């Protein structure tokens, strides 16, 4: 089980997604307003950082303001790996130190920065600016984003989605392109629908080749909950599009939600770092292993503990929830999607539950499943079922409980039972079909815990 702690960064975020200049600086019409003098400072800073970055040879760890510019700590890209491989001189955990250093805001006080440089045994670098850097929130947020683009980030706990297209490799290149485009459209559509309801998902995505990792850039009080609502609307939009489509243009997807730690990097694009990030870490590895064993249409929820924020008459409260509690909390907030249009029909209601739980009010524990991958490593997950009430029909999405493995049934028995139902009557066809089954059977397994 993975324990997570929600992190809420207080500094304002500056969104560079629509920046056509490719420099990662705010456009002139972006709030909050930044003076021309400070824009000159930011451009000078990026020019210097790009030179010191040296096409990805070096990374920036942190910075501190100086009367004449900035102090920054840069190290070679291989430095952190070597540094974390050994304990500190006092026996402390170097890897934990680095994680704390690159998590959250990168700005440090002058004393902190020199203490960090001493521990790392490196010398700070000085970046000269024409004028002193402003302390305005807009300027500081822009500097933070620049530092992150030329560095490496760590997030202790974040909700992440994985959408995977089933049987992707069996389709033609044109069909693959159409399916990826359809899935991308479903995400954009879900974003617009939630935004119209007052829920703004600042979502980022990176392709896996046959799907997407998706996360909420924001780390605010309701980021995880909003991302979960986003997952449900994407699954719903995909299902409606698939029902109305012909051929293989709309994908059958497998999806999962999980929360955990990850590193965040900005990939080089030519000789400059791109303004888009990608993530890798425990949460993405767990998601990949979970979805690899998932069945078409299935929605999985990982096994984690996380902190969420809730509203009350006394203000914001913090609650620590295990996966089933998190899903119940998100389900209680799904009134926000009431009235959203799906296939020109309004959503009258939406509810979700983990298999094993009884939505009639009876207290039953959710069924937890053990997923063993090809390496013999095991993870736990829950099966999510989704009900959507439209004006004249009800959609049931996700994998039905009757299709899930039981405690008494071994994965091999289930595969053999499915194979028997597909076998033809002739001996030759039986042999051919059995050979195909044995060839395709994955080495991992899924069983009820």
Domain ranges of the chain: 7-150, 156-403, 411-448
Q: Which residues of 343-364 are buried (b: 16+ CB within 10 A; e: fewer)?
A: eeeebeebebbbbbbeeeeeee
320, burial (CB in 10 Å: exposed 0-12, middle 13-18, buried 19+)? middle
Average pLDDT per 10 consecutive residues for the chain, totaling 449 residues = 50 36 42 82 92 89 93 94 87 91 94 96 94 91 92 94 96 96 96 94 93 92 92 96 91 97 81 77 95 95 88 75 94 93 90 83 80 90 95 91 74 49 49 51 69
In the prediction, which pLDDT does 435 show? 54
In the prediction, which pLDDT does 54 show? 87
Q: Which of 285, 289, 255 is nearest to 374 (CA)?
A: 289
Query: How many angstroms separate the CA atoms of 298 and 300, rounded?
Result: 6
In the prediction, which pLDDT does 168 show? 96
In the prediction, which pLDDT does 392 show? 82
pTM: predicted TM-score of the whole model, two decimal places: 0.83
CATH fold group of domain 156-403: Alpha-Beta Plaits (3.30.70)
Neighbours of 214 (CB within 10 A): 22
Q: Which residues contact 350 (CB under 8 A, 6 or more apart)?
A: 232, 236, 334, 337, 338, 386, 387, 388, 389
In the prediction, which pLDDT does 29 show? 42
Which H or E run contains 111?
helix 110-120
Query: How many angstroms separate the CA atoms of 69 and 140, rounded?
Result: 13
In the prediction, which pLDDT does 28 show? 42
What's the 3-state SS for 390-414?
A: CCCCEEEECCCHHHCCCCCCCHHHH
CA dist 345 → 199, 240, 348, 351, 389 (Å): 20, 11, 9, 17, 10
């Amino acid at each position: 089980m993975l324990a997570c702690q929600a992190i809420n960064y207080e500094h304002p975020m500056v969104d560079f997604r629509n920046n056509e200049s490719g420099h990662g600086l705010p456009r002139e019409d972006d709030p909050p307003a930044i003076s021309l003098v400070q824009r000159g400072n930011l451009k000078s800073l990026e020019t210097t950082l790009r030179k010191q970055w040296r096409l990805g040879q070096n990374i920036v760890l942190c910075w501190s303001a100086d009367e004449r510019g900035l102090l920054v700590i840069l190290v070679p890209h291989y430095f952190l790996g070597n540094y974390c491989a050994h304990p500190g001189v006092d026996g402390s955990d170097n890897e934990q130190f680095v994680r704390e250093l690159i998590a959250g805001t990168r700005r440090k006080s002058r004393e902190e920065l020199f203490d960090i440089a001493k521990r790392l045994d490196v010398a700070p670098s000085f970046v000269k600016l024409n004028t002193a850097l402003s302390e305005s929130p807009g300027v500081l947020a822009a500097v933070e984003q620049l530092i992150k683009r030329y560095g490496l980030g760590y997030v202790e706990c974040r909700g992440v989605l994985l959408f995977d297209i089933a049987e992707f490799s069996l389709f033609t290149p044109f069909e693959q392109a159409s399916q990826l485009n359809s899935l991308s459209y479903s995400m954009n559509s879900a974003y617009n629908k939630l935004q119209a309801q007052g829920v703004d998902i600042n979502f980022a995505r990176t392709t896996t080749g046959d799907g997407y990792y998706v996360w909420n850039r924001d780390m605010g009080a309701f980021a995880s909950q909003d991302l979960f609502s986003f997952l449900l609307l994407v699954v719903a939009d995909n299902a409606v599009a698939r029902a109305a489509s012909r051929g293989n243009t709309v994908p059958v997807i497998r999806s999962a939600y999980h929360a955990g730690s990850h590193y965040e990097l900005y990939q080089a694009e030519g000789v400059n770092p791109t303004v888009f990030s990608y993530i890798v870490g425990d949460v993405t590895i767990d998601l990949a292993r979970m979805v690899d064993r998932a069945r078409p249409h299935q929605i999985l929820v990982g096994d984690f503990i996380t902190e969420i924020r809730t509203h009350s008459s006394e203000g914001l409260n913090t609650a620590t929830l295990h996966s089933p509690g998190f899903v119940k909390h998100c389900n209680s907030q799904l009134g926000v999607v009431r009235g959203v249009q799906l296939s020109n029909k309004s959503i009258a209601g939406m509810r979700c539950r983990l298999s094993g739980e009884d939505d009639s009010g009876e207290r039953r524990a959710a069924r937890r499943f053990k997923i063993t991958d090809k390496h013999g490593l095991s993870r736990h997950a829950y099966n999510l079922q989704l009900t959507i009430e439209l004006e004249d029909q009800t959609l049931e999405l996700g994998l039905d409980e009757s299709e899930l493995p039981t405690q008494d049934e071994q994965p091999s028995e289930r595969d053999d039972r499915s194979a028997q139902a597909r076998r033809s009557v002739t001996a030759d066809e039986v042999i051919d079909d059995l050979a195909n089954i044995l060839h395709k059977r994955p080495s991992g397994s899924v069983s009820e815990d």
